[in-house]
Chains A and B, each alone.
Chain A
Amino acid sequence: MKTDPLISGELKEVDTWVGKPIPRQEDDRLLKGKGRYVEDITLPDQLFAQFVRSPHAHADVMDIDFSVAKALPGVITCISAKDMPDIGPITPNWILPGTLSKGRQVLAAERVRYVGEPVAMVIAKSEEEAVDAAAAVIVRYKELPHVLNQDDALSENAILLHDDIPENRATTFRRGQENYDEASAGAALKLTFDLRNQRLVPFPLECRAVNADFDAASGRMTVYIGQQLPHMFRRMLSEALAFPEHKLRVVSPDVGGGFGAKMHFYSEDVAIAYASRLLGKPVKWLERRRENAVATSHGRDHITTIDVAAETDGKITALRVRSRANVGAYLSSMGVGIPTINVALFVLGVYDIPNADVAVDCVYTNTPPVDAYRGAGRPEAAYIIERTIDRVARELGLDPAQVRQRNFVTEDQMPHRNIVGGMLDVGRYEATLSRAMDLSDYKGFSAQKTEEKDALLGIGIGNYTETCGVGPSEMQAMIGFDRGGYESALVRVQSGGQAVVMSGSHSHGQGHVTVYAQIAADALGIDPDQIEVIQGDTNQVPQGIGTFNSRSIVVGGSAVRVASERVAKRMKKLAAHLLQAEEEDVSLQEGVFVVSNSNQSLSFAEVSRAAWTGHNVPRDQSIGLEETEFYHPRAMSAPYGAHIAKVSVDRETGEISLLEYLAVDDCGTVINPLLARGQVHGGVVQGIGQALFEDGTPLEDGSMPAEQAIPRIDAVPYMKTEHTVTPSWTNPLGAKGIGESGAIGAPPAIVNATLDALWPLGVRDLEMPLTPERVLAAIDNAEKTR
């Protein structure tokens, strides 16, 4: 296998730590099998919990009989909703104004509304005993009719999920002007079509796990949980249990992947902590894979009807988007925010479309709740606009690349706020797309396609954008998002001359430790291996927000940068004092503070030590070398990219071969090209999973398919990656976020490529995942109707 150089395209060799493709500090431990995940933490007197879950999509809970279970060996107690009358349903974290909100029940009281909803909890001395006892709990249900699909749930005679929520509608969100009819009148091309962004199961390889340890003597509780937002979780748990927050410690150790799913606040989290407080013992729950498919929030599930009008040259003049989003039976943490704000504000993509009208209905159904999953709304938006632009091009007989170029927001329009409220800070869309077209030999491939007509070759573009680095907090308040929009960093240079960096964001695999050390190293003037990064412990780290929305570098990294710079400044000032020199004459050179025109010097470590002894620190300077920054952005940045997929379709089997995948991303400043590439690869393969294999749509009875078709190593193509570099002005690093890029860009690129291959056969639409059966059926149908 060829390995493409990491420094290529617009990336340059640099002599700073930021920009270097260094390997990760966190790897040694993990490679030696010394990772420490929640499952690895077992405490003295450890108890284990198991949940009893509803087998029905919709039913009344008539009776719960614990008598058999309680008599089994090892069983400590069994708990149902009746036993915890003081615990209400979970309050979602993002409730748009005007939403009719129903949060998850901790344990279902009278009615269950999806298969897998927890009904009771059993605590035993061992995991096996808990499993046995849970199986012995007898629950009597009265089944009710159920509805799984959002369009069915909105239909006139649909059953209601919640008696007090008419039409099963949590909210309807509108953006833009309601002027499609006028704006599209007289257009050369008018099209109406539907798209479906199917439900997905996030599937981190480590399922969820919680171990809550309440100590009755001190009144303190420590909760070990794989959580992307340790501080937010602390607040949410404290509020849910009315537990004093200052006595609550949340530790998120190594996290085995999350992709959004491990930032939500779940029923089990509350129940486990409740049980530990009740029993005064540590209680641990390990979600199992089958359980994960129902207990952990899903992603996407977004159906859209699109109207689009365009001129003969492909210029889009008007767009109308009508989406129905399935939010599941209850609102998960960000349940209504994702399909509304995160879709509606992005449906214009990187294009300048003068008229747009967007509305999204959020609909309750008898399915597991849907929430943020890698990309969180932006994959839906990118899919809508990128499929639309391709469709327009093909109907007009134009090259999809050209139609994109015709519609791009141009550099001189930046920063650009579009008519649906989306904000683009910087972008050179033309430059990035042409780089991608060159690298993938777009023109040459088109020629090859014409030559090898029978091969059914296709090439497709996904030109995505999103915005990253959520804040600012005031904006979040306006949209009902009950989190801060800042991030914390504490930077301390210790006596020995090494530094500690703490961050409120938290890695679930990305490599925060390495990149934060790179950022701090540049500011402090020491090597990254002299820097220890600490995350995931609320008793050590200053209050932070956490990792999601590709915000860890943009906001968290900026906090590290600002705090490190302040420490460096103070250090230099102290060095000047100790050297009895003017500050401007002092500089740090290879670990030594030197004075120009003098042979006076002090090592980095000597100054560090002096700062902490305090023996000779002027009274107008503070003791020590420690700074805390709550970095609070004023605006978000909009990374973007041009992804190109090449496919061939087997006419006989309907199988799609991904011949090549190219990603040219623009995430502004790249802190570590090696890790950035890893993020792109991982995201792209999740996008490939969505495009070709995965489907989290429940079966007719509301249960989940036994297995999820997660891409395997032999199912992914060679991925070529590159960057254009357009730094953002919204943060001191010039960064824009990369974690979600691949998951957003890949589905439209692959589906567009497949439609490119099949368009000549008359295929006009395909629904994800593009399974061989669907592809064959589409070809057969097209041939029949021709």
Chain B
Amino acid sequence: MGGSITSAEDTVEISLTVDSRPQTVTVSPRTLLIRALRNQMNVTAPHIGCESGRCGACSVLVNGQTVKSCMMLAVQAEGTEIVTAQGMEEDTIGQRLQSAFKKFHALQCGFCTPGMLASARELLRHNDHPTEDDVRQALRGNLCRCTGYQHIIEAVLDAASVGRKSHEN
């Protein structure tokens, strides 16, 4: 038989910020962060591709770090600040990545894209001059079945170089 049925007593209230919006929801201790985001907070940018940490479609930034939100319990996100692709428009690195992804046709079905953006944004925040290999390493945990990845690599490198140019000015 499967896991136990959640009864009202063992639910927990959590408060966190998602894409700059404060959220308070009640979750069961076994609720995964991805499910709380999607089903309770209506944040549908991260997707469920495997629910076992293998595909990265569910990746979001938790306090600036890429996290596979299917590998984290919602209760562990108490008090954190979460950014998804939905909220990435608000920062310059996120914007640069979004426009480079479009320019280089780095997405097809778009299902992996929010997760890719999260991992790429973490990379560019720490490394404004990544090599091709840095990009491959940073996005290793994100599967894409559509693009063959090359356009994604080109897009991330381009976003980095746009960022460097803007600093020079």
* Contact across chains for A681 and B110 when beta carbons are under 8 A apart: no
Nearest-Cβ distance from residue B137 to partner chain A, whole angstroms? 7
Q: A510-B108, A681-B151 are in contact. Are A32 and B85 (CB under 8 A)?
A: yes
Q: A33-B114, A204-B109, A681-B148 are in contact. Are A24 and B2 (CB under 8 A)?
A: no
Contacts of B38 in A (CB 8 A): 39-40
Instruction: Using CB atoms, name the residue of chain A closest to B99.
Output: A31
Roughly how many angstroms separate A30 CA and B102 CA in the complex, as a whole number? 10
Instruction: Using CB atoms, name the residue of chain B closest to A73.
Output: B5
Q: Within residues 11 to 34 of chain A, which ones have a CB less than 8 A from any CB in chain B?
A: 23-24, 26-28, 30-34
Nearest-Cβ distance from residue B139 to partner chain A, whole angstroms? 5
Select A3's contact among B108, B135, B154, beta carbons within 8 Å: B154
Select A132's contact among B5, B52, B144, B153, beta carbons within 8 Å: B5
- Chain B 139-163, CB-CB to A under 8 Å as 1, else 0, gives 1101111111111111001000000
- Chain B 32-51, CB-CB to A under 8 Å as 1, else 0, gives 00000011000111111111
* Contact across chains for B102 and A35 when beta carbons are under 8 A apart: no
Roughly how many angstroms separate A31 CA and B154 CA in the complex, as a whole number? 16
- Chain A 133-166, CB-CB to B under 8 Å as 1, else 0, gives 0111000000000000000000000000000000
Nearest-Cβ distance from residue A690 to partner chain B, whole angstroms? 13
Q: Of residues B5, B110, B151, which shows the largest number of chain A Cβ atoms within 10 Å of its Cβ?
A: B110
* Contact across chains for A30 and B110 when beta carbons are under 8 A apart: yes
Select A716's contact among B43, B55, B146, B149, beta carbons within 8 Å: B149
B107 within 8 A of A: yes
Q: Within residues 670 to 694 of chain A, which ones have a CB less than 8 A from any CB in chain B?
A: 674-675, 677-678, 680-686
Contacts of B153 in A (CB 8 A): 1, 713
* Contact across chains for A23 and B110 when beta carbons are under 8 A apart: no
* Contact across chains for B103 and A23 when beta carbons are under 8 A apart: yes
- Chain B 1-30, CB-CB to A under 8 Å as 1, else 0, gives 111111000000000000000000000000
* Contact across chains for B109 and A684 when beta carbons are under 8 A apart: no
Select B47's contact among A23, A39, A255, A719, beta carbons within 8 Å: A39
Select B136's contact among A23, A68, A128, A713, beta carbons within 8 Å: A713
Q: Of residues B49, B88, B145, which shows the largest number of chain A Cβ atoms within 10 Å of its Cβ?
A: B145
* Contact across chains for A713 and B140 when beta carbons are under 8 A apart: yes
A417 within 8 A of B: no
Contacts of A37 in B (CB 8 A): 47, 111
* Contact across chains for B102 and A257 when beta carbons are under 8 A apart: no
B132 within 8 A of A: yes
Nearest-Cβ distance from residue A32 to partner chain B, whole angstroms? 6
Contacts of B85 in A (CB 8 A): 31-33
* Contact across chains for A288 and B49 when beta carbons are under 8 A apart: no
A511 within 8 A of B: yes
Nearest-Cβ distance from residue B63 to partner chain A, whole angstroms? 19
* Contact across chains for A257 and B148 when beta carbons are under 8 A apart: no
Contacts of B148 in A (CB 8 A): 678, 680-685, 716, 719, 742
* Contact across chains for B5 and A206 when beta carbons are under 8 A apart: no
Roughly how many angstroms separate A446 CA and B107 CA in the complex, as a whole number? 36
A509 within 8 A of B: yes
Q: Within residues 111 to 127 of chain B, which ones have a CB less than 8 A from any CB in chain A?
A: 111-114, 117
Nearest-Cβ distance from residue B140 to partner chain A, whole angstroms? 5
* Contact across chains for B108 and A257 when beta carbons are under 8 A apart: yes
- Chain A 242-286, CB-CB to B under 8 Å as 1, else 0, gives 000000000000111101000000000000000000000000001
Q: Of residues A30, A40, A685, which shows the largest number of chain B Cβ atoms within 10 Å of its Cβ?
A: A30
Instruction: Using CB atoms, name the residue of chain A closest to B89.
Output: A32
Nearest-Cβ distance from residue B18 to partner chain A, whole angstroms? 11
* Contact across chains for B45 and A682 when beta carbons are under 8 A apart: no
* Contact across chains for B145 and A712 when beta carbons are under 8 A apart: no
* Contact across chains for A256 and B110 when beta carbons are under 8 A apart: yes
Instruction: Using CB atoms, name the residue of chain A closest to B142.
Output: A713
B86 within 8 A of A: yes
Contacts of A1 in B (CB 8 A): 132, 153-154, 157
Main secondary structure on B side of the interface with A: loop
Select A72's contact among B5, B55, B108, B114, beta carbons within 8 Å: B5
Contacts of A40 in B (CB 8 A): 38, 44
* Contact across chains for B57 and A205 when beta carbons are under 8 A apart: yes
Roughly how many angstroms separate A710 CA and B149 CA in the complex, as a whole number? 12
Contacts of A132 in B (CB 8 A): 1-5
* Contact across chains for B5 and A24 when beta carbons are under 8 A apart: no
A632 within 8 A of B: no
The size of the chain A interface, using a CB distance under 8 A, is 66
* Contact across chains for A257 and B105 when beta carbons are under 8 A apart: no
Roughly how many angstroms separate A34 CA and B6 CA in the complex, as a whole number? 31
* Contact across chains for B154 and A678 when beta carbons are under 8 A apart: no
Nearest-Cβ distance from residue A406 to partner chain B, whole angstroms? 33
Roughly how many angstroms separate A75 CA and B51 CA in the complex, as a whole number? 24
Roughly how many angstroms separate A42 CA and B107 CA in the complex, as a whole number? 25
Q: A1-B154, A132-B5 are in contact. Are A31 and B143 (CB under 8 A)?
A: no
Nearest-Cβ distance from residue B165 to partner chain A, whole angstroms? 17
Nearest-Cβ distance from residue A124 to partner chain B, whole angstroms? 10
* Contact across chains for A678 and B5 when beta carbons are under 8 A apart: no
Instruction: Using CB atoms, name the residue of chain A closest to B30.
Output: A128
* Contact across chains for A135 and B1 when beta carbons are under 8 A apart: yes
Select A205's contact among B136, B146, B152, beta carbons within 8 Å: B146
A203 within 8 A of B: yes
Instruction: Using CB atoms, name the residue of chain B closest to A68.
Output: B1
B69 within 8 A of A: no
* Contact across chains for B150 and A681 when beta carbons are under 8 A apart: yes
* Contact across chains for B107 and A205 when beta carbons are under 8 A apart: no
Q: Of residues A34, A134, A712, which shows the largest number of chain B Cβ atoms within 10 Å of its Cβ?
A: A712
Roughly how many angstroms separate A24 CA and B117 CA in the complex, as a whole number? 17
Select B145's contact among A42, A257, A718, beta carbons within 8 Å: A257
Contacts of B137 in A (CB 8 A): 714
Q: Within residues 593 to 639 of chain A, which ones have a CB less than 8 A from any CB in chain B?
A: none
Nearest-Cβ distance from residue A514 to partner chain B, whole angstroms? 10
Instruction: Using CB atoms, name the residue of chain B closest to A41.
Output: B44
Roughly how many angstroms separate A42 CA and B35 CA in the complex, as a whole number? 13
Q: Within residues 44 to 92 of chain B, which ones have a CB less than 8 A from any CB in chain A?
A: 44-52, 54-55, 57, 84-86, 88-89
Contacts of B52 in A (CB 8 A): 289
Roughly how many angstroms separate A510 CA and B107 CA in the complex, as a whole number? 9
Select A674's contact among B89, B105, B149, beta carbons within 8 Å: B105
Select A32's contact among B1, B55, B98, beta carbons within 8 Å: B98
A783 within 8 A of B: no
* Contact across chains for A35 and B111 when beta carbons are under 8 A apart: yes
Select A27's contact among B3, B5, B57, B102, beta carbons within 8 Å: B102
Q: A32-B86, A129-B5, A713-B139 are in contact. Are A685 and B111 (CB under 8 A)?
A: no
* Contact across chains for B49 and A716 when beta carbons are under 8 A apart: no
Q: Within residues 688 to 742 of chain A, which ones have a CB less than 8 A from any CB in chain B?
A: 707, 710, 712-714, 716, 718-719, 742
* Contact across chains for A24 and B105 when beta carbons are under 8 A apart: yes
* Contact across chains for A33 and B86 when beta carbons are under 8 A apart: yes
Contacts of A257 in B (CB 8 A): 108-109, 111, 145-146
Roughly how many angstroms separate A508 CA and B112 CA in the complex, as a whole number? 13
Contacts of A675 in B (CB 8 A): 105
* Contact across chains for B102 and A24 when beta carbons are under 8 A apart: yes
Q: A31-B98, A204-B145, A710-B145 are in contact. Are A289 and B109 (CB under 8 A)?
A: no
Instruction: Using CB atoms, name the residue of chain A closest to B119.
Output: A713
Nearest-Cβ distance from residue B152 to partner chain A, whole angstroms? 7
* Contact across chains for A712 and B154 when beta carbons are under 8 A apart: no
A401 within 8 A of B: no
Instruction: Using CB atoms, name the residue of chain B closest to A288.
Output: B51
Q: A27-B102, A32-B86 are in contact. Are A205 and B145 (CB under 8 A)?
A: yes
Instruction: Using CB atoms, name the residue of chain A closest to B87.
Output: A33
**Sample of 19 more A-B contacts, CB < 8 Å, known A257-B145, A289-B50:** A27-B110, A31-B102, A33-B46, A34-B45, A34-B86, A39-B47, A42-B39, A131-B2, A132-B4, A204-B109, A205-B49, A205-B57, A257-B108, A509-B108, A681-B150, A682-B146, A714-B137, A716-B149, A742-B148
9 chain-A/chain-B pairs, Cβ below 8 angstroms: A1-B154, A24-B105, A32-B45, A135-B2, A289-B54, A674-B105, A682-B147, A684-B148, A713-B144
> Which 7 A-B pairs have CB atoms at the shortest separation, nearest pair first?
A33-B45, A509-B109, A681-B148, A30-B110, A256-B111, A135-B2, A33-B85
